[in-house]
Each structure stands twice: as structure tokens, then as C-alpha cells.
Amino acid sequence: MDGTGRPPFRIGIDLGGTKTEAIVLSSVGEVLVQERVPTLKGSYEATIETIRALVSGAEAKVGQRCSVGIGIPGTVSRDTGLVKNANSTWLIGHPLHRDLEAALERPVRLQNDANCFAVSEAVDGAGKGAEIVFGVILGTGVGAGIAIRREALEGRNGIAGEWGHNPLPAPRDDERPGVKCYCGRHGCIETFLCGPALERQYRAAAGQFADAREIAARAEAGEKVAETVLQRYEERLARALAHVINILDPDVIVLGGGLSNVRRFYESVPRLWEPHVFSDIVSTKLRPPVHGDSSGVRGAAWLWPHET
């Protein structure tokens, strides 16, 4: 134990749809152990056992008992204690937090994976030293998390940061009513800004498929269709993030997910969001993640109190 009575090492678990990752962090954020295994889809019991085995194996490697934080693709209802809003649908309706504490025989901190991403980047990533960090996931879906003073903001309903399921701000006539989202509504931010949406927009304009990285490369090479599609995407992203700035006014917005690798966004989007932000000067920074696709699992480990 350290001087606070807490274990000096922290285990983080990132429960993803296709893989489950575990790391052990030292008190200064050094990765001591890292392991990824396939997620056994569809089985709640197998999920519990996978996490138990990862924790047990990690502790065997470092030779001590650790604190455990876990990021999940959903949230736990404060009222029922059951998982809700999970893309990994086999978790929905189960008391995951309670069952993990029983399986691991210790207190466990459980948090939405986007919140873990925001915490990771706030503690020792692109938002280090910032008071308010908004962490955005632009991937197969669109989500976000909020870290205030390096801790996740959950909200009364456990949905703080559910940015992707708000309507696209200031929609134009050709953006109404928008594509139907899996949540049942039309015109959600996710339906415009997720990776598949960008690919769909390019296919409709060019008549062929290209993923986000290839679309960006084609635009850089001078392809007009790719450039037009990317410009439309950037303008929509700017509107959507301006809405966040007007409400939350974060110091830093960090992009994660596959689309965070499109480098031009970090110059173009801040320029484009300015007309939509209710301020004379917009000082909010837009940054890429420092820890890449390991940010979520690092943030899970940092869910336990850290040294200041």
C-alpha cells in the first residue's frame, strides 16, 4: 500500500465489443502489464469470467492486489443498478457492477467507456492540466465523455456526455429529417458524424467505397469529390462541437476513435466553429489523443483516486 492506504498499482479493463483489454498502471502512469483478448459476445457469464481471469492474471504478473476500474460500452442506472444503453446488448438489464465486485472480491469502479477516454486524456494526455475536458469518440458510433478536474462527470441519469444522440444543430433543409438512428430518432449527430456515415456519403457522391483514412488521402491528393465530402463533414462536426462549447465551455476537446486520425480536422474545425459559438474569442483547443486506442483502458485504471 502507498501512504494513502490504497494499492499503488491500478488495473484498468476496457470491455469492448470485439476485444477486452487489461492494463496495470503504476502510480505515475507507467504501463506494467497489457493484455488483449477477444470479447465473447452474447454471454453475460463469459464476460464476468473474462474480466476475472484478466484481473487474476495481471495481479499474478505484478505480484500484488490492485484496484480495479472498468470501462463498459453503456452505463449503469443509478435507480436500478442495471446496465442500460449498451452496444453490447447482452449486458443490458444485468447488475454488472454488483456481479463484478462479487467475482473480484473487492470494490470496483465502473464507468462508461467514453468517460474513461475523457479521464485518461485529462489525467496525462491531451487535456493534462485542463479543468474541463470533453472527450469525443468518432468511430463506428459517436459518443463523448466529460472530465472535470480529472474525474468523470456522470450526471443524475448517468448519461452526461451523450452527445451523439442529440439532433445535429442548425440543420439545413437537405439535412432534415435525417437518417433514422438505431435509437429510434432521426437526425442524431451520430448518423452524420460516425465513420460509416462518412463512408456512406462518399459512396453516394463517388459511386465507390473508401474508408475515412482513404477519403482523407484522396482529398489531399486533389480529388474533388473527396474534398467536397470532407468539407461537408468538417462543417457538421464544427456545428456539433460549437453546441458543446456553448453549453459546457470546455478548455480542451479531444477527438478519439478512427476519425481522430484525420489530421486536417484540428485546423479546419476550430476555424469553422467560430461563427456558431456565442463568444467574441473562442479559446477552446481541439487536440488528437495522446494515448490513442489505449486511452479508454488507461482511463478505467485512473477511475480510482490518483496522486495530485
What is the per-residue pLDDT across 119-144, written as a single tens digit (0 to 9) for each?
999 999 999 999 999 999 998 889 89
What is the mean pLDDT of the segment spanning 39-50?
93
Longest dimension (CA), the chain: 62
What is the mean pLDDT of the segment spanning 66-83?
93
pLDDT in tens, 226-262: 999 999 999 999 999 999 999 999 999 999 988 999 9
Compute the chain's Rg from CA coordinates. Answer: 20
Cα distance between residue 187 and residue 260, in whole Å: 22
Return the half-sphere exposure (C-beta side, CA atoms, 13 A cut-off) of residue 285.
14
- Percentage with pLDDT > 70 across the chain: 97
Nearest to 9 by CA among 60, 77, 87, 65: 65
pLDDT at 91 over 70: yes
pLDDT in tens, 139-162: 888 989 999 999 999 998 889 999
Domain ranges for the chain: 10-117+294-301, 129-289
Cα distance between residue 90 and residue 44, in whole Å: 6
CA torsion angle 229 235 240 245 (round to 10): 150
pLDDT at 308: 36
pLDDT at 293: 82
Domain 129-289 has CATH 3.20.20.390: no
What is the mean pLDDT of the segment spanning 288-303?
92
Look over the chain and give the mean of its residue pLDDT values, rounded to a whole number.
Answer: 93
What is the mean pLDDT of the segment spanning 294-305?
90
Domain 10-117+294-301 has CATH 3.30.420.40: yes
